[in-house]
Structure 1
Amino acid sequence: MSKFRLSLFMVLSLLCFIGGVDSAMAQGKVKKDLFKAKSPKIQYVRPDTTILIKYDEFPDDQSDADKSIFFNPKKELSIVSEDTSELDLGEQHIVEMSEEVLVDSTWIRIAGYYAIWDTRNINPYRMDGRQLKDTVDIKLYDPRSNRNYKMPLVETPVTSHFGSRGGRWHYGTDIDLNTGDSIFAAFDGVIRINKWDGGGYGNYIVVRHYNGLETLYGHMSRPIAQVGQFVKAGDIIGLGGSTGRSSGPHLHYEVRYQGNPIDPENMYNFPGYLLKGESLTITSALFNYYNRAKSSSSGGRRTSYHTVRSGDTLSGIGKKYGVSASQIAKLNGISTRTTLKVGRKLRIR
């Protein structure tokens, strides 16, 4: 009997030891997984209303850059149910975005909001920043929650600032680069637009971020990230170039809140290669430039010129600006077969 009791004691001790290890491992797992962030979930929901509003449009080029300031609905919101495969079809949806964290092996929803999801229009939102009544505090990054930030380029020498430029308003900051340089996502988010705009942004991408901001990256030689793709701050989303309405290789970088452009230099110290702070306070005062922007852009159609470089052809120039070679030839009183002289200025529009 004593041997039996000893054996039983050893078995029970072994079971208790194993149970203790499992418990410790479980506790360790809970600690390790605590507040582990889950990628935002996109879920289609049916809205109560689909109210469309009128919009103003600048009498200028029909590029995305020129018509992005005001809400420009192409049709009534098309609502589908639980079908993320339609994210890249270019339709407008109202979607529910939800944020979750893993606590004790269970995903807990910590935040949710409704927003329009549109893969074609830069500004599909029904919001005028000048009418903003509340103060909105945007958390730009939070290392404790594994929410980081990244400058859009390895180096950020500014070549053109936000504001009036050449009789029109420039809604972003231009940063110098070499063709083929890597362009990085500024914050965690999801790709909303990957599109070509021959008369403006060229190849460009718009990223919707978890913190409520959106960033736009224009004139890429090659966009890499695809619509609906989740990206982390610092992920490569494209390569630098000079596509669209561009006089040379650079990144046109915009920051927007619900479609309203914000001067990036309110957030960034570009020479210092860093953000000015962990958060950004948004008030209606940030958008007081709107009236000046509209007046500077309402003088009628703008005349555009291109300076011929070595290797340029009319068809190549036309493709760059989204116009036909015959149109360029007609505007300049030349034939489509004319040999182009380096340094000559050609009228594009």
Structure 2
Amino acid sequence: MKRNTSAAKAIVCTVVLWTIPLLLAAQRSVPKLEDLPRRAIDTLDTDDSNIKIVIFTNNTWCYYYPDLNERMDREVYREHWVNDRVFAYTDIQLKELPPVIDLQLIDRYGDFHAPAIGKVFSKYGTRGRRRHQGVDIPLSVGEPIYAAFNGKVRYARYNTGGYGNLVIIRHENGLETWYAHLTRCNVAQDDYVTAGTVIGFCGNTGRSRGAHLHFEMRYCDQAFDPEHLIDFSTGDLRYQTFALDRSFFSIYSRASETLEEEDDYDESLLAVHSPDGELTSEDILENIESTTQAAIKQEQAKTDPLYHTIRRGDYLGKIARQYGTTVKRLCQLNNISEDAIIREGRKLRVR
């Protein structure tokens, strides 16, 4: 009896050992839905007549742009278009750029996607003796990095200059966005991408001390603080259109200096109520008179010369914003050019 039991167990074990490989092979032979033949079966419209959605038989889909060839052949993607080096505008100097560049950033919702969301731990500006021409956002290795706007990939490769795996996208308004230290690039040069496309994954390649995204914004190779346009803590775009002042290309031009400015409201111009809470006709007349006199004195003060003593870190654009004027007006008042070097301690007439 014991001999029959042992024989039965041996048979069961043998069957199991032969069955498991067969089951695994059968499981491997069942194709995933995504691996089935991919044939287009339907096209759906979107709110944008130039963007459609194609549905495929294997339960996948993609965007389709009927005007894609026209988009990719625009002049902005032909002039100064190079794939083998990071700087494409070596023949254009800063002084040749207009004083203000009007940038149309988006036309509709969906034209922007934050490249990453997080606290900026290293801001645009000087870092010791080096120039830090972008912002650093700490992330985990492998986190997806997104294209900020629609555009065409100009550069996507490993950069030996310190950026590591680097993707550069040029956008239709001429702006370029740089995404550095990626663990790998997810796009190739000359690809057309839309806002929100995963163009790579966070890494620690190149000259980097930890996993993070180094993100830059440039116009004609000139870098400016990306925080002028993006709130990285929320992932929001600050403007639909943006006036890019040439002074912003200075390494000392920090967005925080502009964004932290607040409007001051003169509450004394509000109506004055009598002690019992009722507003009499005499109160109204007195308030009108005092308000008028205050306005006259204010206008007279505007005509008096006003001077600003230059401090370290000052530049024409910053001073102009501080006093509500323009760089052009400052140059006229002081008989200087927009490229003039202003030295610490000098008095500059601002009104």
**Partner Cα separation in structure 2 for residue 285 and residue 235 of structure 1:** 32
Mapping for residues 181-200 of structure 1, pairs under 5 Å:
181-200=143-162
> In the alignment, is residue 39 of structure 1 matched against residue 68 of structure 2?
yes
Q: Aligned partners of 2:216, 2:48: CA distance in 1, in Å?
A: 35
Q: Distance in 2 between matches of 1:187 and 1:157?
A: 21
Q: Which of residues 114, 130, 133 in structure 2 aligns to 1:151?
A: 114
Distance 1:113 1:223 in 2: 20
Is the Cα–Cα contact under 8 Å of residues 182 and 239 in structure 1 kept in the other structure?
yes
Give the conservation status (yes or no) of the 8 Å contact 2:224–2:250: no
State TM-score, norm by structure 1.
Answer: 0.51
Q: Which residue of 2 aligns with 1:137?
A: 102
Does residue 260 of the first structure (1) align with residue 222 of the second (2)? Answer: yes
Spell out, residue by residue over 1:188-234, the C-alpha distance to the aligned partner (whole angstroms, 9 max, x if none): 01111012124400111101111211100000001110111110000
Deviation digits for residues 227-250 of structure 1, max 9, x if unmatched?
111100000010100000000000
Q: Which residue of 2 aligns with 1:108?
A: none
Q: Give the secondary-structure state (helix, strand or coil) at the position aligned to 2:131.
A: strand
One-letter amino acid matched to 1:124: A
- Structure possessing the higher radius of gyration over alpha carbons: 2
Unpaired stretches in structure 1, ≥5 consecutive residues: 1-28, 44-95, 99-111, 292-349
Residue 123 of structure 2 corresponds to residue 161 of structure 1: yes
Alignment match, 1:106: none
| Contact 1:128/1:260 (8 A) holds in 2 | no
Give, as a single letter, the amino acid of the residue that structure 1 aligns with 2:68.
S
Correspondence 1:219 to 2:181: yes
TM-superposition CA deviations, 1:84-104 (whole Å, max 9, x none): xxxxxxxxxxxx625xxxxxx
State the secondary structure of the residue aligned to 2:156: strand
Once the two structures are superposed, residues 269-291 of structure 1 have per-residue CA deviations (whole angstroms, 9 ceiling, x without a partner) of 22232111111212221123389
1:247 aligns to what SS in structure 2? coil
TM-score (structure 2 length as normaliser): 0.51
Which residue of structure 2 aligns with residue 288 of structure 1?
250
**Conserved 8 A contact 2:112-2:196:** yes
2:74 partner letter: M
- 1:120 and 2:84 aligned: yes
TM-fit CA distance, 1:186: 0.4
How many Å separate the matches in 2 of 1:197 and 1:31? 38
For the Cα contact (< 8 Å) 1:217–1:253, is it kept in 2? yes
AA of the residue aligned to 2:83: T
Give yes or no for the alignment of 1:230 onto 2:195: no
1:22-72, Cα deviation, whole Å (9 max, x unpaired):
xxxxxxx999885667226478xxxxxxxxxxxxxxxxxxxxxxxxxxxxx
SS in 2 for 1:208: strand
Deviates more, 1:256-265 or 1:192-201: 192-201
User: Percent identity, aligned pairs only?
Assistant: 34
| 1:131 Cα deviation from its structure 2 partner | 3.5
Displacement of 1:127 in angstroms is 2.1
CA distance in 2, matches of 1:186, 1:276: 13
Structure 1 stretches of at least 4 aligned residues deviating more than 6 Å after TM superposition: 29-33
Secondary structure (helix, strand or coil) at the match of 1:175 reads: strand
CA distance in structure 2 between the partners assigned to 1:226 and 1:193 by the alignment: 8
Question: 1:113 & 1:216 partners in 2: Cα distance?
Answer: 16
Matches within 5 A, 1:1-349: 38-39=67-68, 41=70, 97=74, 115-125=79-89, 126-143=91-108, 148-153=111-116, 155-289=117-251
Paired AA for residue 178 in structure 2: L
1:128 aligned partner, one-letter code: Q
Q: Higher relative contact order at CA 8 Å, sep ≥6: structure 1 or structure 2? A: 1
**Cα pair 2:77 2:152 within 8 Å, conserved:** no
- CA contact 1:198–1:244 (8 Å) conserved in 2: yes
Distance 1:128 1:261 in 2: 13
Distance in 2, Cα, partners of 1:31 & 1:204: 32
Query: Post-superposition shift, 1:141?
Result: 0.9
Higher strand share goes to which structure?
1
Q: Supply the distance in 1 between the matched residues of 2:176 and 2:87 (Cα, whole angstroms).
A: 10
Q: 1:270 to 1:117 in 2, by over 3 A?
A: same
1:233, 1:198 → 2: CA distance?
Answer: 27
Task: Letter of the 1:149 partner, please give it.
Answer: F
User: What is the total number of aligned residue pairs between the two structures?
Assistant: 195
In the aligned structure 1, how far is the partner of 2:84 from the partner of 2:177? 15
Pair 182,128 (structure 1): closer, same or farther in 2 beyond 3 Å: same
- Which structure dedicates a bigger proportion of its chain to helix? 2
The alpha-carbon deviation at position 128 of structure 1 amounts to 2.5
Q: Distance in 2 between matches of 1:171 and 1:157?
A: 17
